Structure 1
């Protein structure tokens, strides 16, 4: 029996053209944010620590302003709606696995027919003086990277003996997941990692590229 296909798709810099967390920080310029970004990229601090500390720099008095900017600033990468249509036709499970935050991930994706149960991201709490990020999808006992939103934990819920696992991503939050899957569609930093580790990857610019390559897999 052939394996079922499942796609784990990143949000920031993948579904969206820009990285929304970085865009928020660049726009509002809380003191010290840029050093935290560099520390995350260079793996000097964990993703969870870096993202949590970045948003803790923003006062909740600016909540509506930040949310409005985050949603307005988004540009969806070409071919995303078509990829969702393709997955529906082909019976491919499509999951959004995002290191982003619920206050912009859910509103942006509400324009697309993705069940909320298929969207994994971090959560937010505005009850205090500053933004607080919550981590409903933390690492399981097999991951010790303090991911925040642990993509490998979600991937492991779809066993390799039952699923052909495909990851689409671009950056540091996708590194560990890329090591587990059958095929990676990569952009930006993720291409370098895939090259370094000899992973099975294809570079992509838009989601039409992804559809085309999956179609090529079908005829092999």
Structure 2
């Protein structure tokens, strides 16, 4: 009996051409955000801590401006609409697993027929004076990296005996998940990480590339 295919797809820099969190920070440029990014990349602080601290630099009084910029600035990668249709036609479960934030992810994915329960991301609160990031998808007992939005916890919830697990991603937030799956589709920083550990991967620039490879593997 063949396994069911399930795809765990990143959002920022994968579904979108750009990284939306970085774009927001660069545009609004709150003092101190670049140092937080440096600490993140140097692994001196966790992803959860870094993302939380960056958004805490932004005042909630600018909510409308921040949300509008995040949505208008994002570009969806070529072939994504066709890819969503392809997964549906092939009865392949497509989960969006993102370290991004609900206030831009949900509006940007609204035009696509993806059930809300298949979208995993961080949440946000604009109740205080600065933006608070909430973490509805924390790490399980097997993960100690303090991800914030833990992709490995979600991947582990789908039994490897039953599912053919596939990840699509581009960055540091996808790397731990890439260690668990059967197939990796990678671009940008994730390619570098796969090369360092000699992990097999398929490079991609558009979702058409991914569909072509999946079809080849199906035949």
TM-score (norm 1): 0.98
Deviation for aligned residue 1:199: 1.7
State how far apart, in whole Å, the 1-side matches of 2:200 and 2:47 are: 24
The correspondence of residues 89-104 of structure 1 with structure 2, limited to 5 A, is 89-104=89-104
The correspondence of residues 84-163 of structure 1 with structure 2, limited to 5 A, is 84-163=84-163
Alignment partner, residue 11 of structure 1: 11
Task: Mark the runs of 5 or more structure 2 residues left unpaired by the alignment.
Answer: none
Instruction: Please state whether the residue corresponding to 1:11 is helix, strand or coil.
Output: coil
**Alignment pair present for 1:38 and 2:38:** yes
Alignment partner, residue 80 of structure 1: 80
Alignment partner, residue 208 of structure 1: 208
Matched positions, count: 219
Alignment partner, residue 64 of structure 2: 64
Task: Mark the runs of 5 or more structure 1 residues left unpaired by the alignment.
Answer: none
Listed one character per residue, the Cα deviations across residues 120-170 of structure 1 (whole Å, up to 9, x for unaligned) are 000001110000000000000000000000000000111110000000000
Instruction: Please state whether the residue corresponding to 1:85 is helix, strand or coil.
Output: helix
In the alignment, is the contact (CA less than 8 A) between 1:70 and 1:104 conserved in 2? yes
Instruction: Please state whether the residue corresponding to 1:62 is helix, strand or coil.
Output: helix
Listed one character per residue, the Cα deviations across residues 150-192 of structure 1 (whole Å, up to 9, x for unaligned) are 0000001111100000000000110100100011100110001
TM-score (norm 2): 0.99
Alignment partner, residue 165 of structure 2: 165
Instruction: Please state whether the residue corresponding to 1:99 is helix, strand or coil.
Output: strand
Which segment is superposed worse, 34-43 or 164-173?
Answer: 34-43
Instruction: Please state whether the residue corresponding to 1:12 is helix, strand or coil.
Output: coil
Runs of 4+ in 1 over 2 A off after TM superposition: none
Instruction: Please state whether the residue corresponding to 1:124 is helix, strand or coil.
Output: strand
Which segment is superposed worse, 101-110 or 194-203?
Answer: 194-203
Deviation for aligned residue 1:213: 0.4
Listed one character per residue, the Cα deviations across residues 28-53 of structure 1 (whole Å, up to 9, x for unaligned) are 00001111112212222110000000
Alignment partner, residue 193 of structure 1: 193
In the alignment, is the contact (CA less than 8 A) between 1:4 and 1:162 conserved in 2? yes
State how far apart, in whole Å, the 1-side matches of 2:191 and 2:40 are: 18
Instruction: Please state whether the residue corresponding to 2:147 is helix, strand or coil.
Output: coil
Deviation for aligned residue 1:200: 2.3
State how far apart, in whole Å, the 2-side matches of 1:169 and 1:49 are: 21
Alignment partner, residue 52 of structure 1: 52
The two structures, once aligned, show a CA RMSD in angstroms of: 0.6
In the alignment, is the contact (CA less than 8 A) between 1:182 and 1:200 conserved in 2? no
